[in-house]
């Protein structure tokens, strides 16, 4: 207890320096948390992907639609339990900065294949029966204050025109990683309108999603699906949902890699800030440590004191940084809708930040410890610092 | 009865890079139980080096240093640390108190290495601070004390474990004349009343005159004995 008391008092011996160090660490941890959160949000689709789902798209590019007629053929493939299909609707809500994902989905099958989107039976019935109904995610509804019955106007681009959708209900995400920022429209309604306005594009499906039997060989099933349409005008490429999501991320791969890299550079910066403080502190106390050694304190005691001080400063800074990460992420999310994903601080981010802070606390203490241990008592007592 | 401290043929050579600097050569010295020895000599004569070796914070290049029954020249660093904790009390020129600890806590420091209970430690600390005349300054921090008072707290810290020997390196070197006089009176009292064996280094002949035995070092050699009476 006495040692802890001494560590605590030593930490605040130079209040301004310690406070500035703690603030420096806090800002760095907060930046680390924000970057990791954004990177995590970018990869949330991958994280949320199911091992029991396959995605079938055009073999050349996802821009090319697949015929609706594939549905029944895919459904016949052994190991496929359920099939749904969807299109990327696109469009603009208010302006480009208010981005969120908008999909036209088959109302009959979509929520069976995606059970992680929790929708009430009444909402589902309304969605199936009212052509221009839509279902929005809880985070999206919260951000734009959408309520059941509200009309959302979308300015179409892939499907030109002004589109009005009425909110039939709000889905809740089953898991933390489930996207709660999406809007689902009725594919049949879209298809009917396309038939009228752009007959050549009718019955075009963006991609199919297959729910396969648990434990089934997904690679084999994928190959059999693709074999069905080999040498057809619209050959397919079937892959796991994870691979499909990763394919989307590949285009932003360089940016994500850079953000990942920067987030760990920040850990290095924290370490330098703290190491600088610890080196100064240990140097100033050279004579005190020598006196402690002279009166019988062992190397272990001094290690505990230096390490304890370093860890205390890093943990205080880390705790403040983690605490600040929440409002900063929330504030960032309010103008970062271009990400199209629900920004939240993941527990993995907290754990990584905590581990980084502990690592930094230990690493920053190593040099002062080595210096203190190597200083002879007689030299330390004479030290004039 | 044998001497408390026996130094036999002790030499010390400092090596830095390829340069060897002899500091002490063939020192032989006995310090008896209850003796108050003052080591004097000009700068670079080796007096502090000899003091550090007696205290177990430096080791001779050759020779033997026996304190009580222990040959401290051959002990490992960790064993020496334990030995110092129970056998040596230190008084330094610049007091070297821990600024973030009160007078009580500074004096208590060496006792944290013992198995004494909190109440036993308190009793020991209060006794030590009473001996040095600072029982009314228990909760003062070093910066709230005068130089003389800081040195008295340092002496209380040195005696709180009731060590075998007190090592004092220029204990009055940073004090005014009055405070220096008070400190030396206290040191004499510790020697005469509490029978503490004291080995002190000083370059001040007035301070040295308070010791019972005075030895001079010059260029690493111990000059012939010069016993004085108070």
Secondary structure string (H, E, C) spanning chain A? CHHHHHHHHHHCCCHHHHHHHHHHHHHHHHHHHHHHHHHHHHCHHHHHCCCCEEEEEECCCCCCCEECCHHHHHHCCCCEEEEEEEEECCCECCCCCCCCCEEEECCCCHHHHCCCEECCHHHHHHHHHCCCEEEEEHHHHHHHCCCCCCEEEEEECCCCEEEEEEEEEEEEECCCCCCCCCEEEEHHHHHHHHHHHCHHHCCEECEEEEEECCCCCHHHHHHHHHHHCCCCCCCEEEEEHHHHHHHHHHCCHHHHHHHHHHHHHHHHHHHHHHHHHHHHHHHHCHHHHHHHHHCCCCHHHHHHHHHHHHHHHHHHHHHHHHHHHHHHHHHHHHHCHHHCCCCCCCHHHHHHHHHHHHHHHHHHHHHHHHHHHHCCHHHHHHCCC
**What pLDDT score does B226 carry?**
53
Per CB-CB distance under 8 Å, the chain A contacts of B59 are none
A181-202 pLDDT per residue, tens:
899 999 999 999 999 998 889 9
Please determine, for residue A328, whether its predicted confidence score (pLDDT) is greater than 50.
Answer: yes
Mean per-residue pLDDT, A204-222? 91
pLDDT of A261 over the 90 cut:
no
Using CA coordinates, name the residue in chain A closest to B161. A295
Residue-averaged pLDDT of chain A: 89
What A225-233 contacts at long range (C-beta under 8 Å, 24+ apart), as own/partner pairs, is: A225/A54, A225/A56, A225/A74, A225/A77, A225/A80, A226/A56, A226/A59, A228/A70, A228/A73, A228/A74, A228/A77, A229/A70, A229/A73
Q: Using a CB-CB distance cutoff of 8 angstroms, which residues of chain A are in contact with residue B84?
A: 294-296
Percent of chain B clearing pLDDT 70 (strictly above): 97
Interchain CB contacts (distance < 8 Å): A and B? 64
Evaluate whether residue B26 is within a structural domain.
Answer: no
pLDDT value at residue A339: 57
Nearest-Cα distance to chain B for A295, in Å, is 5
The pLDDT assigned to A341 comes to 59
pLDDT category, A338, cuts 50, 70, 90?
A: low
pLDDT at position A336 = 63
Within the 9-28 window of chain B, which residues sit less than 8 Å (CB to CB) from chain A? Answer: none
Q: Does residue A245 surpass a pLDDT of 90?
A: no
Domain total of chain B: 1
Measured between beta carbons, the chain A residues lying within 8 angstroms of B55 are 294
Model pLDDT for residues A111-126, shown as the tens digit of each residue: 999 999 999 999 999 9
Question: Chain B contacts of A381, Cβ < 8 Å?
Answer: 57, 92, 96, 169
Q: What is the pLDDT of residue B94?
A: 87
**Is the residue at B24 inside a domain?**
no
Q: Verify whether the Cβ–Cβ distance B78 to A295 is below 8 Å.
A: no
Q: Do B78 and A296 touch (CB under 8 A)?
A: no
Mutate to test the interface with A, among B60, B109, B125, B164 (most CBs of A within 10 A): B109
* pLDDT higher than threshold 50 for residue A287: yes
Question: Is residue B51 a part of any domain in this protein?
Answer: yes
Q: Determine whether the interchain pair A295/B112 forms a contact, defined as Cβ–Cβ distance below 8 Å.
A: no
Residue A48: predicted pLDDT: 65
pLDDT band at residue A179 using 50, 70 and 90 as cut-offs = confident
Chain A interface test: which of B47, B54, B100 (most A C-beta within 10 Å): B100
Contact A295 B90 (CB under 8 A): yes
Chain A residues with beta carbon closer than 8 angstroms to that of B57: 293-294, 376-378, 381
Residue A157: is its pLDDT beyond 80?
yes
* pLDDT exceeds 60 at position A7: yes
Predicted confidence at residue A98, as pLDDT, reads 84
B90/A299 CB distance under 8 A: no
Confidence category of residue A343, pLDDT binned at 50, 70, 90: confident
Q: Please, what is the Cα angle at A41 between A54 and A34, to 5 degrees?
A: 160
Whether B157 and A295 lie within 8 Å, measured CB to CB: yes
Is pLDDT above 50 for B48?
Answer: yes
B58–A378 C-beta distance less than 8 A: yes
Q: How confident is the model at residue A138 (pLDDT cuts 50, 70, 90)?
A: very high
Residues of B in contact with A299 (CB under 8 A): 77-78
CA nearest B89 in A: which residue? A295
Spell out which residues of chain A touch residue B113, defining contact as CB-CB under 8 Å. 295-297
| Residue A42 or residue A93, greater confidence | A93
Please give the ipTM for the structure prediction: 0.90
Residues 166 through 205 of chain B touching chain A, CB cutoff 8 Å: 169
Is it the case that residue A358 has pLDDT exceeding 80? yes
Domain range for B141: 33-59+76-227
Confidence at residue A215, expressed as pLDDT on a 0 to 100 scale? 81
Q: Is the pLDDT of residue B227 over 50?
A: no
Q: Which residue of A lies nearest to B83 if distances are taken between CA atoms?
A: A296
pLDDT at B34: 93
Is B141 within 8 Å of chain A by CB? no
Find chain A residues with C-beta within 8 A of B112's C-beta. 2-3
- Tell me whether residues B96 and A287 touch, CB distance under 8 A: yes
CATH of the domain at B168: 3.40.50.300
**With contacts defined as CB-CB under 8 Å, which chain B residues touch A384?**
none
- Tell me what percent of the residues of chain A surpass a pLDDT of 70: 94
Q: Are residues B90 and A287, on separate chains, in Cβ contact within 8 Å?
A: no
Confidence (pLDDT) at A246: 75
Q: Does B25 reside within a domain? A: no
Task: Please check whether residue B10 lies inside any domain of the structure.
Answer: no
pLDDT digits (tens, 9 = 90+) for B147-194: 999 999 999 999 999 999 999 999 998 889 899 999 999 999 999 999
Chain A residues whose beta carbon lies within 8 Å of the beta carbon of residue B109: 292, 295
- Nearest by CB to residue A296, choosing from B48, B108, B113, is B113
Measured between CA atoms, the residue of chain A closest to residue B81 is A296
- Say yes or no for a CB contact (<8 Å) between B57 and A294: yes
B118 to each of B122, B155, B157, how far by Cα in Å? 6, 21, 16
- Map out the domains of chain A as residue ranges: 2-44+253-382, 60-234
Asked if the model's pLDDT at residue B230 lies above 50, the reply is: no
Contact state of B105 with A292 under an 8 Å Cβ cutoff = no
Please report whether residue B43 resides in a domain. Answer: yes
Convert the pLDDT of each residue in B110-141 to its tens digit.
999 999 999 999 999 999 999 999 999 999 99
- Residue B133's pLDDT is 93
On chain B, the residues whose CB falls within 8 A of the CB of A292 are: 98, 109
Contact A296 B81 (CB under 8 A): yes
Q: Average the pLDDT over A11-26 and give the result.
A: 92
Per-residue pLDDT at A137 exceeds 80: yes
C-alpha B218/C-alpha B45 separation (Å) is 5
Quick check: is B194 in a domain? yes
Q: Residues of A at the B interface (Cβ-Cβ below 8 Å)?
A: 2-3, 6, 9-10, 13, 287-288, 291-299, 376-378, 381
Q: Is A233 exposed, middle or buried (0-12, 13-18, 19+ CB in 10 A)?
A: exposed
Residues of chain A contacting residue B171, judged by C-beta atoms under 8 Å apart = none
B203, part of any domain:
yes
pLDDT band per the 50, 70, 90 thresholds, residue B83 = very high
pLDDT, average across residues A234-259:
82
pLDDT of residue B228: 45
């Amino acid at each position: 207890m006495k040692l802890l008391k001494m560590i605590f008092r030593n930490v605040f011996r130079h209040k301004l320096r310690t406070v500035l160090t703690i603030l420096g660490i806090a800002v760095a941890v907060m930046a680390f948390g924000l970057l990791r959160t954004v990177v995590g949000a970018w990869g949330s689709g991958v994280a949320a992907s199911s091992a029991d789902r396959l995605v079938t798209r055009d073999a050349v590019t996802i821009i090319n639609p697949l015929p609706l007629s594939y549905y029944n053929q895919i459904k016949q493939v052994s190991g496929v339990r359920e099939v749904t299909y969807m299109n990327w609707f696109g469009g603009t809500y208010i302006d480009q900065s208010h981005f969120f994902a908008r999909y036209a989905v088959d109302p009959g099958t979509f929520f069976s294949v995606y059970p992680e989107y929790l929708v009430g039976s009444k909402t589902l019935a309304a969605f199936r029966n009212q052509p221009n109904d839509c279902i929005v995610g809880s985070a999206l509804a919260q951000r734009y204050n959408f309520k059941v019955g509200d009309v959302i106007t979308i300015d179409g681009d892939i499907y030109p025109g002004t589109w009005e959708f009425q909110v039939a209900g709000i889905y809740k995400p089953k898991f933390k990683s489930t996207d709660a920022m999406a809007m689902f429209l009725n594919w049949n309604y879209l298809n009917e309108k396309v038939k009228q306005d752009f007959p050549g594009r009718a019955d075009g499906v963006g991609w199919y999603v297959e729910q396969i039997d648990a434990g089934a060989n997904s690679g084999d099933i994928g190959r059999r699906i693709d074999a069905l349409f080999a040498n057809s005008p619209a050959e397919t490429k079937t892959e796991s949902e994870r691979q499909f999501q990763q394919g989307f991320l590949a285009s932003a791969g360089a940016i994500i890699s850079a953000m990942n890299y920067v987030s760990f550079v920040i850990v290095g910066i924290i370490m330098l800030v703290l190491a600088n403080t610890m080196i100064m502190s240990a140097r100033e106390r050279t004579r005190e440590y020598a006196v402690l050694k002279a009166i019988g304190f062992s190397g272990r005691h001094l290690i505990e004191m230096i390490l304890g001080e370093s860890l205390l400063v890093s943990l205080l800074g880390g705790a403040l940084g983690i605490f600040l990460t929440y409002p900063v992420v929330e504030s960032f999310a309010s103008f970062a809708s271009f990400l199209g994903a629900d920004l939240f601080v993941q527990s993995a981010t907290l754990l990584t930040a905590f581990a980084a802070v502990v690592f930094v606390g230990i690493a920053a203490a190593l040099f002062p410890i080595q210096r203190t241990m190597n200083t002879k008592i007689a030299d330390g007592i004479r030290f004039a610092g | 009865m044998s001497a408390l401290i026996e130094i036999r043929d002790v030499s010390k050579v400092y090596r830095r890079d390829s340069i060897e600097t002899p500091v002490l050569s063939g020192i032989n010295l006995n310090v008896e139980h209850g003796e108050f020895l003052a080591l004097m000599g000009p700068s670079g004569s080796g007096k502090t080096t000899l003091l550090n070796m007696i205290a177990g914070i430096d080791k001779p290049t050759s020779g033997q240093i026996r304190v009580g029954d222990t040959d401290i020249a051959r002990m490992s660093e960790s064993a020496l640390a334990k030995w110092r904790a129970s056998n040596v009390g230190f008084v330094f020129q610049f007091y070297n108190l821990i600024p973030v600890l009160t007078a009580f806590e500074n004096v208590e420091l060496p006792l944290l290495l013992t198995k004494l209970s909190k109440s036993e430690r308190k009793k020991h600390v209060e006794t030590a601070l009473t001996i040095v005349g600072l029982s009314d300054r228990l909760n003062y921090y070093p910066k709230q004390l005068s130089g003389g008072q800081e040195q008295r707290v340092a002496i209380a810290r040195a005696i709180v474990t009731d060590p075998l020997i007190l090592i004092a390196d220029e204990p009055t070197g940073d004090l005014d004349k009055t405070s220096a006089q008070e400190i030396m009176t206290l040191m004499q009292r510790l020697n005469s009343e509490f029978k503490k064996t004291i080995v002190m280094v000083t370059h001040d002949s007035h301070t040295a005159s308070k010791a019972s035995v005075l030895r001079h070092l010059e260029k690493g050699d111990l000059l012939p004995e010069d016993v004085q009476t108070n």
